[in-house]
Structure 1
Amino acid sequence: MSLLAHLAYKPRELQFGTSGRRGEVVHLTQLEIYINVLAELRYLQALPRGLGGIAPGEEVYYAHDLRPSSTAYVPEQQGRGELAQAAAAAIADAGMLPVHLGAIPTPALAHFGLTRNRASLMITGSHIPFDRNGYKANTSIGELLKEHEEPVGRMVAQVRDEIYRQPFAESAFDAWGLFKSGHRELPAPCQAAAESYLQRYREFFAGLSLHGKRLLVYQHSAVGRDLLAELLQGFGAEVVPAGRSAEFVPIDTENIDAAQIGAVQELVDEATRERGPIFAVVSTDGDSDRPLILGLDAPSGKVQFFGGDLVGMVVAEYLQADAVVVPISSNDAIDRGKLARVLEPKTRIGSPYVIAGMQSARERGRHAVCGWEANGGFLTGTEINLNGRCLSALPTRDAFLPILGVLFAAESRGLPVTGLFRELPQRFSRAALIRQFPRATALRILANFTPKTGGGEELEAIRAALRAFFPADSGFSEIAGIDYTDGVRISFRNDEVAHLRPSGNADEFRIYATADSQARADAIAEAAVEEPDGILRRMERAAASRE
């Protein structure tokens, strides 16, 4: 009998998302990881080298974050896990040479692969909750993009059928989708990738100093926590490590709530009492491809969080970019500031779309191209030349570059971090979300506010329907326009914005709010996600009543 006939569970197939493939750990079997990785590698083997192709026998680098399920079986999650081991097996069975790079940031892995023209795989759930995980694949020249999704999907279906048809006695997997051989030790990691990543920034920022700056590095369970501290110390900063956690802590840099800000404030207060005033707080998400940056107000010492879209503006100005690409969800301060003249058309949300926008700018002759997302992940689409130094392109989300960019920009201007951000056009944003909100439900909600024909009467009916959820007595003005680039982005006549969109790889419904004050942006976001009667929940009930 076949492997499929012996499976004691109903497989949950991983879907291709804007940041790889992710799922709940209880459904994320080693078999499922193996099938998808094997298929993606076979797809890359069929590509020409110039399009990201790889050849049998070459190295494929793999690394992982600090989630328990990335490298170990987790009893609390039905014994699932050891996902890195499953990826390594698929690499070997694809006729490639698996090279373990250990627990390092996603951009460190990508950088190492790209500089050697090799494919790479990162086992990570990034910022999503502890009970989820997944992986992200890179070709030999960059990320898998949306154009790859359909052909990769066909290859996955082909490989799935092949593996499922194997006689159970010959299969490496048991009835629960785990290796029959049980636990597999990972080989000792190669340290070269981490060192290469640090050296990238040591060389580009050579001659600059953070001497005299006391920085609190909020470590939690970020995979790059020690590398970040080492890098900052190398530039002369006094580093205060804080908040290190042995348990995985999901940090979503796009959804920092009051409780998380409060926890950071406590760490800052303690460090200030013991060491003296803190210049800034820096951190990353779980796989260290998105930065978390907080300044401190003087003299109160109160921490102030800066969203990734604003961080990107500061860094792009500092790097003297001549073309910048951002998604439609970004703070519209960029339309009013110095970067407006080099702003490319705004894209859909997700690094593949930003990368495509950067490619377009490069093809039109731009020489210093970068992009970023509202989560702060910063991408470079060309070489960046500054102060006689050259930084090679790294077209994937990176956290260390924006952290260094903000700190060196503040140092060069003689400003505190808060002062640096005050020089940007004063537009304020806030992102918030409801977790465990079925993606299918969110899509149905948005479909109710999306035109089918584009006729005037239909559009006016949509505006009227939306006004019921964004009424004048809640401070909303008339609707000025609706953008459907990615989700439903509502612009009001008083320049406020409410952008609704489901997450691309998790059951989450998000709002991105923008206003002329932080308090108002916060209020819009909180009104949307309030339980049980916030805007999104009322939209959910209205959609259900129409079925």
Structure 2
Amino acid sequence: MTHTVSIADLMTRSGVAFGTSGARGLFTAMTDEVCFAYTQAFLQHLSSIGQFAPRSHVAIAGDLRPSSPRIMAACATAIEHMGGVVDNCGFVPSPAVAGYGFARGIPSLMVTGSHIPDDRNGIKFNCTDGEVLKNDEQGIRAQSVDLPDLFDREGMLKAAQALPPVIDVATAYMARYVDYFGGDALSGLTLGIYQHSAVGRDIVTQIVTALGGTAVALGRAEKFIPVDTEAVRPEDQALAKQWAAEHGLDAILSTDGDSDRPLLADETGVWMRGDVLGILCARALGIKAVATPVSCNSAVELSGLFDAVRRTRIGSPFVIEAMNALADEGQVTVCGYEANGGFLLASPVTAEGRTLGALPTRDAVLPMLATLVDARRQGVTLSALQAQLPGRYTFSERLQDYPTAQSQALIAHLEEGNEAEVLARLTAMFGAVAGEADGIDTTDGLRIHFAGGDIIHLRPSGNAPELRCYTESDTAERAAAINAKALGIVRETVIG
């Protein structure tokens, strides 16, 4: 006995919809039935483009939030129902399971809510050769699935599905970096590992040790902590400074929940911005062409380090599309990075006879390692390495529990009218903070340029009820101050 469900209708009905990083929603809304249906639709779409057939293997993994094992089991049940074979990769970083799938030409999925609180979760889907892009998302959304009679009235599996034994993918993921950088690449460095509840916490610690560094484990937590690499919590800022002083650290390494976004602090315990880390990593690897979202630091252009810089909408699918376009245009070495620090390597890179293969999905480990190795090679601290770039500083924060509809209404109001009217409205709203508005960019959200060089960028989050605010200025302190004031103004603004 089956019943047919439209995925487009299910997205609306369940509240579990696609954002910039896959399907996400409250874990209570992500019932076994919803997760089963999404996985079935994903595989049906892959079947239509020749990437899945009965007896095909599909890799799955998850992060450490409490709801992940249940959702993994529901996804595994769907894979087996479709005639697939489940490769259970256990609890490993998103780039580890994705890389395992890419290397074998099989689909993969990661159960994770990334950095958002553990009352939510999500599923990231990967095709056989790369992340799900926007055309794939549309293909999944267009599916209708025939759901079997496996679920109770609450949408939960009547009989729990046991996952197959775990396949070791961590060893190959670690070897990727140890083989490329070499066993003494971090020799002489004392590096803190802020472990919290990141799924890659032990892997990062082991990589640092394997590269010759002294690893100091810090802040391990059994309860899930939503570490956002774009909006670092005040307590994490204070802890990093405390740890750096107490342990005499050269740096502190950490990641978000599914360990695809890095968080790297310098020797003083100040967390580096992800978009600066992306520039430093690309330079260290000798990359010539870069794709990066419009929200990222303009030092990438001002530095003159790269032959081509392509700006995109926010989200790894857009970065990947731009990377592909750069490669098609003949660029030999291509990468992408995001404001959250996630680094995507589109082409192999070679140094001293060693080659690092492409990994065109967000990764946290590479940007931290490449930057640390470069600083050690030059004999400078991380803060000194960062000072080699043009003096542009970004900051980001968010209004939480700010409904998406409210964010969209605000942006629509601010963009209403001709250019002169829009600039006048923006100057009236933010003039006391940043001066006269003299230009806008609507690539993704509303990015406002001011005559004095400051930037305020407002954007509704693609995966949570939040309004993001990105700011840029000529000092870190001013970028942070502008951000706080701009969000204060938005918070008090009533539309309609």
Q: Smaller-chain TM-score range?
A: over 0.9
Residues 167-219 of structure 1 deviation map (CA, whole Å, 9 limit, x = unaligned): xxxx10000010112x444333111x111111111121126521110000000
Alpha-carbon distance in structure 1 between the residues aligned to 2:175 and 2:82: 32
Measured after TM superposition, the shift of residue 451 of structure 1 is 4.8
Q: Report what 1:385 is aligned to.
A: 350
Q: Is contact 1:45-1:56 (8 Å) kept?
A: no
Q: Report what 1:367 is aligned to.
A: 332
Alpha-carbon distance in structure 2 between the residues aligned to 1:201 and 1:357: 25
Q: Report what 1:250 is aligned to.
A: 226
Q: Report what 2:8 is aligned to.
A: none
Residues 60-107 of structure 1 deviation map (CA, whole Å, 9 limit, x = unaligned): 000000001001xxxxxxxxxx10100000111111101110000000
Which of 30, 33, 36 is residue 31 of structure 1 equivalent to?
A: 33
Q: Report what 1:177 is aligned to.
A: 155
Amino acid of the structure 2 residue aligned with 1:36: Y
Amino acid of the structure 2 residue aligned with 1:137: F
Amino acid of the structure 2 residue aligned with 1:226: D
1:206 pairs with 2:182: yes
Q: Secondary structure at the match of 2:320?
A: helix
Residues 442-489 of structure 1 deviation map (CA, whole Å, 9 limit, x = unaligned): 01111112256xxxxx211111221222023x3x22112000000000
Q: 1:207 to 1:178 in 2, by over 3 A?
A: closer
1:486 pairs with 2:444: yes
Which of 330, 335, 350 is residue 301 of structure 2 equivalent to?
A: 335
Q: Secondary structure at the match of 1:99?
A: strand
Q: Report what 1:284 is aligned to.
A: 255
Measured after TM superposition, the shift of residue 342 of structure 1 is 2.2
Measured after TM superposition, the shift of residue 436 of structure 1 is 1.1
**Cα-Cα RMSD:** 1.7
Measured after TM superposition, the shift of residue 4 of structure 1 is 9.3
Measured after TM superposition, the shift of residue 382 of structure 1 is 1.1
TM-score scaled by length of structure 1: 0.87
Amino acid of the structure 1 residue aligned with 2:447: R
Amino acid of the structure 1 residue aligned with 2:85: L
State the identity as a percent: 39
Measured after TM superposition, the shift of residue 287 of structure 1 is 0.2
Alpha-carbon distance in structure 2 between the residues aligned to 1:19 and 1:383: 24
Amino acid of the structure 1 residue aligned with 2:31: T
Alpha-carbon distance in structure 1 between the residues aligned to 2:219 and 2:436: 45
Report the structure number with the largest CA radius of gyration: 1
1:326 pairs with 2:292: yes
Amino acid of the structure 2 residue aligned with 1:55: A
1:115 pairs with 2:103: yes
Q: Report what 1:219 is aligned to.
A: 195
* Structure 1 residue runs of 4 or more that deviate by more than 6 Å after TM superposition: 1-5
Q: Report what 2:78 is aligned to.
A: 90
Q: Report what 1:496 is aligned to.
A: 454
Measured after TM superposition, the shift of residue 432 of structure 1 is 0.2
Q: Is contact 1:13-1:32 (8 Å) kept?
A: no
Mapping for residues 53-72 of structure 1, pairs under 5 Å? 53-71=51-69
Count of residues in Structure 1 that have an aligned counterpart in Structure 2 = 490
Q: Secondary structure at the match of 1:443?
A: helix
Q: Secondary structure at the match of 1:209?
A: coil
Alpha-carbon distance in structure 1 between the residues aligned to 2:422 and 2:185: 54
1:154 pairs with 2:125: no
TM-score scaled by length of structure 2: 0.96
Which of 386, 393, 397 is residue 421 of structure 1 equivalent to?
A: 386
Q: Is contact 1:100-1:188 (8 Å) kept?
A: yes
Q: Is contact 1:429-1:514 (8 Å) kept?
A: yes
Q: Is contact 1:499-1:511 (8 Å) kept?
A: yes
Measured after TM superposition, the shift of residue 13 of structure 1 is 4.2
Measured after TM superposition, the shift of residue 525 of structure 1 is 1.2
